[in-house]
C-alpha cells in the first residue's frame, strides 16, 4: 500500500473497529475483538480485498498504533476511541503529574466552561507527549496544547487508564484541572 492508501485504509478500519462494524456486516466481541479471517472476508465482500499482509502492514505502520492483534494474531481490535459499547479492560494506572490534550483554538471557550468531555467516545484521550498531541489538535484548526493536572485529578479520585499504545484515558477533565496557554 502507498502512504495515501494506508491513510485511507486506516480511517476505514477505525470506522469499522471503533464506530460502525455493521457497515461491513461485522459484530465485535464484547471486548472489541473480531476474528481476522472474519474481518478480511467482510472487507472482501464490501469491495475492499485486503490481504492478511495488508492488514499486518497497516497495524505495524500506524503512527499512533491504533490497532492491535491478540497474542495468537488471530483477532484484531482498536485500542481505544470507540463509540460502540466495548469493554477494553485497560489497567487503572496512576498518571504522571501532567498530561496533555491537543485541541483546536476554536473549541477553547467551550472547554473553559465544560472541561474536556468524552463526546461520543468512551473516554477523553490524553498523552504524556506533546508532539503527537499537537498534531491531533491541528486536525481541526489552529492547534492548542492543553496541560492537564492529572496528578491532582488522581488525588481527587479520578480514575485513569493506560492503553497498550500509551494513550491515557479518563471519563472527564473538569476545567479546574486544565492549564490554558496564552493564545492571544
Q: In the numeric block, which cell numbers belong to residue 89?
A: 479492560
Question: CATH top-level class for 99-179?
Answer: alpha beta
- The domain defined by 3-78 folds into Arc Repressor Mutant, subunit A (1.10.10)
Q: What are the CA-CA distances from residue 88 to residues 18, 31, 33, 91 (Å)? A: 11, 5, 9, 9
The Cα 35–Cα 86 span in angstroms is 15
Residue 38: Cβ within 10 Å count: 14
List phi, psi (to 5°) of 147: -100, 130
pLDDT, residue 138, reads 62
Q: Where are the domains of the chain?
A: 3-78, 99-179
Q: Does residue 37 have a pLDDT over 70?
A: yes
3 or 137, which is more confident: 3
pLDDT, residue 146, reads 94
pLDDT band at 184 (very low <50, low <70, confident <90, very high): low
40 or 79, which is more confident: 40
> What mean pLDDT comes out for the span 160-164?
90
Q: Is 145 helix (H, G, I), strand (E, B) or coil?
A: strand
Amino acid at each position: 500500500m502507498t502512504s495515501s492508501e494506508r491513510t485511507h485504509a486506516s480511517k476505514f478500519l477505525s470506522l469499522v473497529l471503533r464506530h460502525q462494524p455493521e457497515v461491513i456486516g461485522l459484530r465485535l466481541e464484547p471486548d472489541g475483538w473480531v476474528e481476522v479471517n472474519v474481518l478480511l472476508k467482510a472487507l472482501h465482500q464490501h469491495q475492499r480485498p485486503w490481504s492478511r499482509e495488508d492488514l499486518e502492514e497497516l497495524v505495524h505502520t500506524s503512527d499512533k498504533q491504533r490497532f492491535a492483534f491478540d497474542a495468537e494474531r488471530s483477532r484484531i481490535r482498536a485500542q481505544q476511541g470507540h463509540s460502540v459499547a466495548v469493554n477494553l479492560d485497560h489497567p487503572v494506572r496512576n498518571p504522571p503529574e501532567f498530561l496533555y490534550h491537543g485541541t483546536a483554538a476554536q473549541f477553547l471557550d467551550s472547554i473553559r466552561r465544560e472541561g474536556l468531555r468524552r463526546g461520543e467516545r468512551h473516554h477523553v484521550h490524553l498523552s504524556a507527549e506533546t508532539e503527537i498531541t499537537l498534531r491531533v489538535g491541528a486536525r481541526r484548526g489552529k492547534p492548542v496544547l492543553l496541560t492537564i493536572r492529572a496528578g491532582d485529578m488522581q488525588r481527587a479520585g479520578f480514575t485513569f487508564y493506560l492503553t497498550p499504545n500509551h494513550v491515557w484515558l479518563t471519563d472527564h477533565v473538569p476545567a479546574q484541572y486544565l492549564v490554558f496557554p496564552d493564545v492571544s
